[in-house]
Homo-oligomer: A and B are copies of this chain.
């Protein structure tokens, strides 16, 4: 039996990562932890999704990276948002809002039940 998994819908991962990185430079490993914490465990990002996404975003010019030392004395790649990335974040956030709004209309259209 397949355990119930709440996978992230395709496309939303980029948005969430941009949001976390917008708060300040972080390295990949920390991004995943941050997402999991803030979402109270609902959003979990395995590394097999994380790093390809990071490279994808960097490749599109939305992120820039520098190697720095972490508090634990390790070298890590710290990502930060570029100007283009910030713009993308704003656009995608607006799109997301509009979309869940529309979906809300659809999901609520039936309902006698209100609530």
Contact = CB atoms under 8 A, between A and B. Distances in A.
B6 A106 contact: no
A22 interface: yes
Given A42-B99, A103-B39, A103-B43, A110 B10 contact: no
A12 interface: yes
A105 B110 CA distance: 27
Interface residues of A, number: 34
A106 B102 CA distance: 20
A20 B106 contact: yes
A98 B6 contact: yes
Given A7-B95, A9-B99, A39-B106, 4 more contacts: A9-B10, A12-B103, A42-B98, A42-B101
